């Protein structure tokens, strides 16, 4: 059987990750260093976990389809949200990437399609640690607090929508004059909140709620009460 031109192109340009180990992984995706560009990250889906999530979902959510559980698809759509397109149209694209890794779209790899984005590193070249890890290791230092407030101010200014802010989805780089946070996962809002973004004042209220919840989450991360996150929320 003769391969089609598109198949041949994919074989020629496919990135080989067979000798690579992920430098980080969550429930939904694994993260690999780009084999040809050490300043870029490749996010690969974990289809077995995506299937498990779909099977656990309620019937109503199953009717919405499996694609809503594809984090790479959702991330791509999130980069097309109204706030980002508005900043780009105004010539302020660089403001988008102050606290987001630059996004380069989709690429073929030996492990399947990947989302390609900037790999945030520290001054010594190491992969930037998560905010969660830094809080556990050193607590919320004045420098970290400054970085957090700068990030939250950026959210209010840009009106870029995110899901719930979680410390393990934020990394911290020391390449700047003070710690800078980057949101590496959780960009974009669920379908209905995203659809309401055109309503005047709505995005500001949505972002305010996300920030309030994030502050509560930070308090829980530092808490020594031994409570689960669910119980901690219920008591606050």
User: Is residue 3 domain-shared with residue 109, that is, in the same domain?
Assistant: yes
Residue 53 pLDDT: 67
138, with CB counted inside 10 A (0-12, 13-18, 19+), is exposed
Asked if 42 and 116 touch (Cβ cutoff 8 Å), the reply is: yes
User: Is residue 129 domain-shared with residue 66, that is, in the same domain?
Assistant: no
Structural domain total, the chain: 2
Q: What is the DSSP string of 93-122?
A: HHHHTTSS--EEEEEEETTEEEEEEE--B-
Asked if 73 and 160 touch (Cβ cutoff 8 Å), the reply is: no
Residue 190 pLDDT: 86
User: Is residue 21 domain-shared with residue 67, that is, in the same domain?
Assistant: yes
Q: Which of 13, 68, 71, 18 is nearest to 44 (CA)?
A: 71
SS3 state of residue 47: helix
Phi, psi of 204 (to 5 degrees): -65, -40
Asked if 161 and 197 touch (Cβ cutoff 8 Å), the reply is: yes
5, with CB counted inside 10 A (0-12, 13-18, 19+), is exposed
73 contacts: CB under 8 Å, gap ≥ 6? 67
Quote the CA–CA distance of 232 and 219 in Å, as a whole number.
9
CATH number of the domain at 188, please: 1.10.510
Instruction: Using the 3D structure, point to which of 62, 94, 119 is the last residue of a domain.
Output: 119
Residue 231 pLDDT: 82
Residue 51 pLDDT: 62
Residue 166 pLDDT: 97
User: Is residue 97 domain-shared with residue 130, that is, in the same domain?
Assistant: no
Residue 22 pLDDT: 96
User: Is residue 125 domain-shared with residue 220, that is, in the same domain?
Assistant: yes
User: Is residue 70 domain-shared with residue 49, that is, in the same domain?
Assistant: yes
Domain of 6?
Answer: 1-119
Instruction: Using the 3D structure, point to which of 59, 87, 119 is the last residue of a domain.
Output: 119
Quote the CA–CA distance of 177 and 4 in Å, as a whole number.
52
Residue 7 pLDDT: 42
Instruction: Using the 3D structure, point to which of 65, 86, 119 is the last residue of a domain.
Output: 119
Residue 2 pLDDT: 42
Averages of pLDDT over runs of 10 residues in the chain (236 residues) are 41 82 93 96 86 63 67 95 97 98 97 97 98 95 97 98 97 96 95 88 96 95 84 80
Check residue 187 and report its DSSP letter.
B
């Amino acid at each position: 059987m003769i391969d089609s031109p598109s198949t041949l192109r994919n074989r020629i340009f496919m990135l080989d990750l067979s000798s690579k180990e992920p430098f980080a992984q969550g429930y939904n995706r694994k993260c690999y260093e780009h084999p040809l560009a050490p300043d870029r990250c490749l996010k690969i889906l974990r289809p077995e976990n995506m299937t498990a999530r779909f099977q656990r979902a309620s019937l109503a959510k199953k009717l919405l389809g499996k694609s809503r559980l594809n984090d790479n698809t959702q991330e791509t759509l999130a980069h097309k949200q109204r706030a980002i397109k508005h900043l780009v149209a105004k010539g302020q694209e660089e403001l988008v990437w102050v606290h987001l890794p630059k996004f380069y779209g989709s690429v073929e790899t030996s492990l399947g399609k990947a989302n390609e984005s900037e790999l945030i590193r520290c001054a010594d070249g190491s992969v930037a640690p998560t905010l969660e890890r830094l809080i556990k290791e050193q607590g919320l230092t004045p420098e970290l607090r400054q970085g957090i407030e700068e990030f939250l101010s950026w959210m209010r200014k840009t009106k870029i929508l995110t899901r719930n802010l979680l410390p393990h989805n934020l990394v911290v780089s020391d390449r700047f004059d003070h710690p800078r946070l980057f949101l590496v996962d959780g960009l974009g809002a669920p379908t209905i909140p995203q659809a309401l973004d055109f309503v005047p004042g709505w995005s500001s209220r949505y972002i305010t709620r996300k920030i309030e919840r994030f502050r509560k989450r930070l308090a829980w991360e530092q808490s020594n009460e031994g409570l689960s996150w669910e119980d901690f929320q219920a008591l606050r």
